[in-house]
């Protein structure tokens, strides 16, 4: 099942995120739970998950960003694409990205952007197959 998160999905999402950049499971502090509540209440912030047998096995984030150019059409930013290592190559991440695209189309976005730090050819090929063009823009990142 592909769907957006609910307030009950915190633990499942955090368990999946532990495989993303070796994130530790965060303490449920006031700060962390405040971030969780902020995400849940933001109508432009979508965390999409693939669920199998009640377990979140894949996810991506789609944020809709208001814009004053391109006819005031927003754009979408895709981040934190992850699939549990035991469930890869089964189409779950593709399904999450397709769901994100549906959101972007519904919101009248003029483009979707996705950045990856991966240099793995298989990952780059996956994003190309999903419809992302890695040659049309140049990304610059400044770490803070």
Tell me: pLDDT of 23 over 90. Answer: no
Instruction: Place 137 in a pLDDT band, splitting at 50, 70 and 90.
Output: confident
Nearest CA to 94 out of 114, 70, 108, 66 is that of 114
138 found inside a domain: no
pLDDT at 139: 86
Q: CA-to-CA distance for 114 and 3, rounded, in angstroms?
A: 20
Task: Give the separation between CA 144 and CA 135, rounded to whole angstroms.
Answer: 26
The percent of residues above 70 in pLDDT, for the chain, comes to: 100
List the domain range (segments joined by +) for residue 32: 2-129
Domain count, the chain: 1
60, pLDDT greater than 90: yes
141 located within any domain? no
- Residue 63 within any structural domain of the chain: yes
User: Is the separation of the CB atoms in 73 and 24 below 8 Å?
Assistant: no
Check which CATH number belongs to the domain holding 34 and give it: 3.40.630.30
52: left (phi over 0), alpha (psi -120 to 50) or beta: beta
Find out whether 112 and 99 touch, Cβ atoms under 8 Å: no
* Nearest-angstrom CA–CA distance, 75 and 56: 27
User: How high does pLDDT run on average in the chain?
Assistant: 95
């Amino acid at each position: 099942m592909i769907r957006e998160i609910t307030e009950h999905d915190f633990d499942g999402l955090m368990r999946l995120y532990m495989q993303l950049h070796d994130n530790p499971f965060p303490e449920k502090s006031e700060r962390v739970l405040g971030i969780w509540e902020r995400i849940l209440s933001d109508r432009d912030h979508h965390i999409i998950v693939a669920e199998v047998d009640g377990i979140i096995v894949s996810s991506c984030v789609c944020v809709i960003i208001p814009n004053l150019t391109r006819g005031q059409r927003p754009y979408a930013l895709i981040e934190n694409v992850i699939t549990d290592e035991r469930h890869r190559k089964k189409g779950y991440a593709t399904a999450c990205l397709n769901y994100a695209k549906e959101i972007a189309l519904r919101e009248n976005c003029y483009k979707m952007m996705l950045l990856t730090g991966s240099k793995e050819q298989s990952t780059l090929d996956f994003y190309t197959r999903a419809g992302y063009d890695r040659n049309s823009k140049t990304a610059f990142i400044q770490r803070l």
